[in-house]
Amino acid sequence: MCGIIGYIGKKEALPILIKGLRRLEYRGYDSAGVAIIEDSNIKRIRSVGRIDNLADKIKNEKFTGHVGIAHTRWATHGGVTEENAHPHFGCDEKLVIVHNGIIENYREIKEMLGNKHTFKTETDTEILAHLIENNYTGDLRLAVEKSLTMVRGTYALVAMHSDHPDTIVAARLGSPLVVGVNTDNGHDEYFIASDASPILSYTKKVIFLDDNEVLEISGGKMNTFNIKDEIVQKNIEEIEWDEAEAQKQGFPHFMLKEIFDQPRVFVDAIRGRYDLKNGISFLGGINMTEEEMHSVNKIILIACGTASYAGMVGKYAFERLAGIPTTVEVSSEFRYSDPIVDDKTLVFVLSQSGETADTLAALREAKRKGAFVRGVVNVVGSTIARETDGGTYIHAGPELAVASTKAYTNTVAVLLLYALQFGRLKRTSLATGERILKALLEIPEKMTKILEQSDKIKVIAEKYKNTKNMMFIGRGVNYPVALEGALKLKEISYVHADAFPGGELKHGHIALLSTDFPIFAIMTKNQLYDKMRSNVEEIKARKAPVILIATEGDVGTKDLSEDIIYVPETMELLEPLLNSVALQLFAYHTAVTLGRDVDRPRNLAKSVTVE
């Protein structure tokens, strides 16, 4: 949700900023802009649309400055216009800022600033720029600090002032900021960004700003301050991801690359976290004594979107293996509900980005109520990872396509390991534990078998490309798979799709069926196979086209559909790890066939850091 990059060092800032914006484009991409200090003036250029538009506009300009900030926008306040694009100036165009987040009391601030200031845009950010300008008496950091005490809302903010050409000031509350520190071997440069991806080609050494901290880099020195303007000691951390991992590596889209990453990164999710001989898994991140684990009488999995569907798979696993009542709550609902949570409740917050605003708020609510709160997160050092009292990284590597794929499967993998960990403490036998682990170890090879069918799935996607609506059905553990399949399809291809448990069809939804309303049914061989088959027969009787996911060798499916994707057999609880891969490929190929912008679908952003 908006991408920020800032640079201060000895190199020319512009190429670094433009390259950085390209890496951050997945966070928002309706407009972009850059501002650089040139000979004690600030030069700014902005453009509507993708970074390519901005790069085009800039190509005949001369920028030589070594300090600059840039932004790629996902509009919240004010339409998508060049005027509303960041960076934003104060009145005298000496102070400039980029901002991610929402200033809730921007109207009050605007009123307070009154006629002294002239506003040119509809954005909350411009008002923040004027507020800082108003509070500026010669020290940029102090002006930022003072202004932030007057602001209600969330922000990641980076500011520059032409009176201080060797200074950048940044601050965060609720929206992430990472600072790359490259001061070895004669380098003397710092990068400030919304996440580490634009920094990795220069340095892996970073600090993560925390809420209510203000950073000042001035004259080659970096200091972090708290809200009382006291210096805070920050640890420099080392990021594990390398740059190559964040590239497309020959795939036409990040999404396809990330789908194909799955067999490899799945191994990273489970490596070193189980003992096959004893049929156990051990995730140290649970950070609970055995006694505390035994005391847990309720589990709540909190997440949004795809992460919540991964959570629904986790629910089946916790209940089946550990016998602990488990619910899945959508973060935006949880935070405003009256959750029944106490010190025997274990809450897992699930988030690829680790920055989703609603999930973060839900986490804080659960902590306030005294639950054990643990994270299952992909982005290392993200806010959710830091605010939970334990938890586990899913090790999916950078996920840059807006549609989540490998983070889903790796979240499911980690939840299965947690369920087994609790299960073996409670009621799961050694033999079952061993069977689950063996089945998990076979997953990468089985995923590969599905990936090898990509071209076949493409043919099916092309056949149905003119479909306006599609329904996905599944039962048991494949119901969340159906939900995820429908979400994937709608978000990247814009084909309307819904999902229901197969048994629900007769209770209303079946009225929609017709010859031009295809149904995607997940009918793999498990304990609900016969039930699901009856549901598919009912659909066939209404002459609606059926696409099937079926288990390899299930020849009895041939009379039900011409379009069948066969997947290898696995244990029922693990089926989502395979079936979802087939649905990801179906959504991907549909979107490509329809000429959609697969990695950056309209209206969406990767990391939803606003409520």
Q: For binding to ligand F6R (CB under 6 A), which residues are involved?
A: 304-307, 351-353, 356, 359, 403-404, 487, 491, 607-608
* Contact residues for 424 (Cβ-Cβ < 8 A; gap 6+): 279, 280, 281, 430, 433
Q: Which DSSP category does 244 fall into?
A: G
* Contact residues for 233 (Cβ-Cβ < 8 A; gap 6+): 224
Residue nearer to ligand F6R on the CB measure, 404 or 478: 404
In angstroms, give the least distance from the CB of 407 to ligand F6R.
Answer: 6
Return the bridge partners of 326, or none. 299
Q: Output phi, psi for 72, to 5 deg.
A: -120, 130
606 catalytic? Reply is yes
DSSP run (H or E) holding 178:
strand 178-182
In angstroms, give the least distance from the CB of 234 to ligand F6R.
Answer: 24
Catalytic-labelled residue, pool 2, 204, 315, 446: 2
Residue nearer to ligand F6R on the CB measure, 38 or 599: 599
Q: Are 130 and 92 in contact (CB under 8 A)?
A: no
Q: Are 569 and 450 in contact (CB under 8 A)?
A: no
Residue nearer to ligand F6R on the CB measure, 234 or 253: 253
Residue nearer to ligand F6R on the CB measure, 164 or 257: 257
Q: In the structure, how many helices (H) and strands (E) does the chain have?
A: 17, 27
Residue nearer to ligand F6R on the CB measure, 127 or 577: 577
Residue nearer to ligand F6R on the CB measure, 175 or 306: 306
Return the bridge partners of 37, or none. 42
Sequence-distant contacts of 197-202: CB under 8 A, at least 24 apart? 197/23, 197/24, 197/246, 197/398, 197/400, 198/5, 198/19, 198/20, 198/21, 198/23, 198/24, 199/20, 199/239, 200/239, 200/241, 200/242, 200/243, 200/246, 201/19, 201/243, 202/16
What CA–CA distance (Å, rounded) separates 611 from 601? 20
In angstroms, give the least distance from the CB of 516 to ligand F6R.
Answer: 27
In angstroms, give the least distance from the CB of 355 to ligand F6R.
Answer: 7
In angstroms, give the least distance from the CB of 37 to ligand F6R.
Answer: 34
In angstroms, give the least distance from the CB of 261 to ligand F6R.
Answer: 15
Question: Taking Cα atoms as reference points, which of 152, 2, 132, 146 lies closest to residue 78?
Answer: 2
Residue nearer to ligand F6R on the CB measure, 304 or 347: 304
Q: Which residue is nearest to ligand F6R (CB)?
A: 305
Tokens 């600072």 belong to 179
DSSP run (H or E) holding 463:
helix 454-463
Tokens 């063996």 belong to 438
In angstroms, give the least distance from the CB of 351 to ligand F6R.
Answer: 3
Catalytic residues: 2, 606
